[in-house]
Structure 1
Amino acid sequence: MAVPTARGGIHCQDGRVPRTIPFAVTARRRLRTGWQRWQGSWWQIMQCGLGAGIAWLLAQALWGQPYPVFATVAVVVCLGVQNNQRVRRVGELGVGVTIGVLLGTLVVHFVGRGPLQITAIVATAMFVARFLDSGILLVNQAALQAAFIVAYPPTAGGGGGGRWLDAMTGVVVALGVAALLPPDPRRDVRGRARAYAGQLADLLEDGADALRSRDAAKAEDVLNRARGTQTELEGWSQSVNAGQEVHRLSPLRRRGRGEIVRQKKLQAGMDRATRNLRVALRRVSTALKYDEPMPDSLAGALDGMAAAIRSLGEPPYPGETVPPSVAVLQELAVTLGPRTLGAESLSATVVVAQLRSAAVDLLQAQGVGAAEAHRLLPR
């Protein structure tokens, strides 16, 4: 029997975990998740709405189209709600939309509509798009728009090449909106950096706990989780690249270019450090599995590295000139010697070596020179 707890949760009197989650808990989670998605997408949604309206007005004014549906469709398809590589994505989708609408218009004009025409135009549009670019989005949009043109009769006054002009208008508006009114990329980059740093720090702390308790199963679990972090690391890299694209193309966002450059350097350093730390965690797992001697001081070193990574990117405290992560790394680096940490076995020595490399990588990523970083390490 499930009974409520003092904190509002539930548990079973016989100790079993209940199979269902209360509706109120599920509702709160969904509301929180939805709110977070909205916060991350509201600007892109406003861009889509604004761009669709502008494209409609322009198509009516320029081409005399009473119902320029394809102008608004092109804007919404091209812009969407994604941030990463947005201008390139808009260009890719724009080419696909344009190819599809143009080929579909030509087919309707010369051979009419029907199942054979649909078959031919979808295949042709995909062949042409695939020849021009390897992007899957471009190919799909070319086929979709071509099929829509052939299957959907034009409105009064909107036939012939008018629909192609509508689509071109929408693509141009989408490119303008993406280039001139992009969301601030720094927020997404910061969020990804914090999330990844926290994830890696958690892994190192769990690895330290496994080492202290000599828990080989936990160490193996930590290693498996560490191997699965590459997706988040690549997402951070893509966010940085998208930020560079925005600052290069948008005159309104060039003021924050310096931070994006620093984040790119930080991400590259974290990438190198992560590879070293995965090796360290693998040696911890191997040592515990085969009962090799591993000093507890290595657990403290892993915790120190976790603290440095968790504070990565934070500004110096008031009255200080050195960022907290650099300060922690400098204090940690002077202890990272095999003799200092009592590393006698092969696995322990490998862990120390990987921690040394990771410390140097992270110090360099935050502006410390290579020679200065290496001087901190014990000989």
Structure 2
Amino acid sequence: MRRLERSVRRRIDLTQRLRRVRNSVPAAVQIMIAATVSYVIARVLLGHDFPVVAVTVTITALGFARDASPRRVLDILVGILIGISLSELMLILVGPGTWQLAFVLVITLLVARFISPSAAFTVAAGVQSTLVMVLPPPEGGVFVRSIDGVVAGVVALLVTALIPRDPRSAAERDAKKLFATLDEALGTLVVALETADEPAADLALTRLRRTQQMIDEWTTSLDSAIGIARISPFLRRYLPELRAQWRLLGCLDLASRHLRIITRRADFLVRDGRERPELGTLITDVRAGIRLLRTDQDQAREHLSEVARRLSPEAVLPGSELTESVLVLLIRPLIVDLLTATGMNASDARKALPDP
């Protein structure tokens, strides 16, 4: 049995590794082109013998981070150029050596932290200042490396715009993951309510708690996609689609928070061992609406509007106790968020609800 488990884990691990390699191909090609162009400009056109900085700056600025937006690239480039220029100035003043390396590094790190709160900005400045202090000065003076850094920065920004990674694929993967998790969690919650299954309610809550990280990842990838599409002449046509995703993301963030509250309440309710099929049916309808959000927002609006029209405790649970009515009332703001995600005005979404 253990041998079988190890075999399955190895296969899953191999699949994940291969998927990671496949998803990294566009970034690797982009970095390769940018680094090669930076090297050619610095080595051939400018005549610098060892343009190490031109290559390393390009690779560091582009990287494999989820956020490949021009803003992030520019932020890292500024940090790198500050690290290079400051350390070259300090090298002229204090010269090379061990204590000089330590002194210049700490000064660079502190100056970088003063300029920007970004950890990536500070690390980039520190790495480049160390290279300046350790490597022998090039012919033409230490500020040749600053020129190489500027060349790398310009090339990195141009490549970001002209040879962009597909900004929609990462956002699409993150969206798919979030919708799948919401669907699984709501399916488990339906089972919990229909069968008074407390472990199922606990599992639904655990799954919903994972959605916050997924929302954060989708936010990063979508923000990066919008930033790239703004400056890329080849991807600008996707801006309306990406902005619509941004609206959907904001609404789903609020909806996920409401769902966690609803599931905690359901977890408390099912402890009495009573089955509540009416509430299970209601959550099933909500689940169907979220599924439609992924594929057809017009149908989702029509379906969720129908759910909203009957969303009162008396309609769902005639003669119910207060503890059950509260759960129905908690679903009302969730439906408003989901209707807003379809493009409906928030005021109109609230008007679709009956009096409580």
Give TM-score, length-normalised by structure 2. 0.91
CA RMSD of aligned residues (A): 2.2
Tell me if 1:210 matches 2:192. Answer: yes
Counterpart contact for 1:87–1:175, Cα < 8 Å: yes
Q: Which runs of 5 or more structure 1 residues have no equivalent in the other structure?
A: 1-10, 12-17, 317-321
Match for residue 366 of structure 1?
A: 342
Counterpart contact for 1:295–1:341, Cα < 8 Å: no
Match for residue 333 of structure 1?
A: 308
Match for residue 328 of structure 2?
A: 352
The 5 A counterparts of 1:68-83 are: 68-83=51-66
Q: Distance in 2 between matches of 1:227 and 1:26?
A: 25
Match for residue 117 of structure 1?
A: 100
Higher alpha-carbon deviation: 274-283 or 253-262: 274-283
Counterpart contact for 1:294–1:345, Cα < 8 Å: no
Tell me which amino acid in the other structure corresponds to 1:335.
Answer: R
Match for residue 73 of structure 2?
A: 90
Tell me which amino acid in the other structure corresponds to 2:315.
Answer: T
Q: Distance in 2 between matches of 1:98 and 1:374?
A: 52
Counterpart contact for 1:86–1:242, Cα < 8 Å: yes
Q: Distance in 1 between matches of 2:76 and 2:23?
A: 22
Shift of 1:41: 1.9
Match for residue 150 of structure 1?
A: 133
- Identify the match of residue 308 of structure 1 among 284, 289, 301: 289
Tell me which amino acid in the other structure corresponds to 2:289.
Answer: A
Match for residue 19 of structure 2?
A: 36
**2:294 match: secondary structure:** coil
Judged with a 3 Å threshold, the aligned counterparts in structure 2 of structure 1 residues 224 and 31 are, in CA distance, closer, same or farther, namely closer
Counterpart contact for 1:63–1:162, Cα < 8 Å: no
Judged with a 3 Å threshold, the aligned counterparts in structure 2 of structure 1 residues 374 and 267 are, in CA distance, closer, same or farther, namely same
**2:50 match: secondary structure:** coil
Counterpart contact for 2:66–2:220, Cα < 8 Å: no
Structure with the larger helix share: 2
Shift of 1:216: 2.0
Q: Taking every aligned residue pair, what percent have the same amino acid on both sides?
A: 30
Counterpart contact for 1:101–1:149, Cα < 8 Å: yes
Tell me if 1:279 matches 2:255. Answer: no
Judged with a 3 Å threshold, the aligned counterparts in structure 2 of structure 1 residues 227 and 30 are, in CA distance, closer, same or farther, namely closer
Higher alpha-carbon deviation: 165-174 or 182-191: 182-191
**1:368 match: secondary structure:** coil
Shift of 1:244: 2.0
Shift of 1:183: 2.0
Shift of 1:214: 1.1
Counterpart contact for 1:79–1:86, Cα < 8 Å: no
Q: Distance in 2 between matches of 1:315 and 1:275?
A: 23
Q: Distance in 2 between matches of 1:160 and 1:177?
A: 27
Shift of 1:112: 2.4
Tell me which amino acid in the other structure corresponds to 2:106.
Answer: A
Tell me which amino acid in the other structure corresponds to 1:356.
Answer: R
Q: Distance in 2 between matches of 1:158 and 1:222?
A: 65
Shift of 1:372: 4.6
- Identify the match of residue 181 of structure 1 among 155, 159, 163: 163
Counterpart contact for 2:188–2:203, Cα < 8 Å: no
Tell me if 1:52 matches 2:28. Answer: no
Judged with a 3 Å threshold, the aligned counterparts in structure 2 of structure 1 residues 150 and 374 are, in CA distance, closer, same or farther, namely closer
The 5 A counterparts of 1:238-249 are: 238-249=220-231
Q: Distance in 1 between matches of 2:345 and 2:275?
A: 32
Shift of 1:353: 1.6
Counterpart contact for 1:244–1:260, Cα < 8 Å: yes
Q: Which runs of 5 or more structure 2 residues have no equivalent in the other structure?
A: none
Q: Distance in 1 between matches of 2:165 and 2:62?
A: 12
Q: Number of aligned pairs?
A: 354
Q: Distance in 2 between matches of 1:296 and 1:169?
A: 66
Give TM-score, length-normalised by structure 1. 0.86
Q: Distance in 2 between matches of 1:171 and 1:241?
A: 21
Q: Distance in 2 between matches of 1:35 and 1:312?
A: 31
Match for residue 64 of structure 1?
A: 47
Tell me which amino acid in the other structure corresponds to 2:308.
Answer: A
Shift of 1:27: 4.1
Higher alpha-carbon deviation: 215-224 or 116-125: 215-224
Shift of 1:113: 1.6
**2:204 match: secondary structure:** helix
Shift of 1:253: 1.1
Judged with a 3 Å threshold, the aligned counterparts in structure 2 of structure 1 residues 107 and 181 are, in CA distance, closer, same or farther, namely same
Match for residue 104 of structure 1?
A: 87
Judged with a 3 Å threshold, the aligned counterparts in structure 2 of structure 1 residues 224 and 32 are, in CA distance, closer, same or farther, namely closer
Tell me if 1:258 matches 2:240. Answer: yes
Tell me which amino acid in the other structure corresponds to 1:263.
Answer: Q
Higher alpha-carbon deviation: 35-44 or 67-76: 35-44
Judged with a 3 Å threshold, the aligned counterparts in structure 2 of structure 1 residues 134 and 353 are, in CA distance, closer, same or farther, namely same
- Identify the match of residue 297 of structure 1 among 274, 278, 286: 278
Shift of 1:376: 4.1
Counterpart contact for 1:284–1:347, Cα < 8 Å: no
**2:313 match: secondary structure:** coil
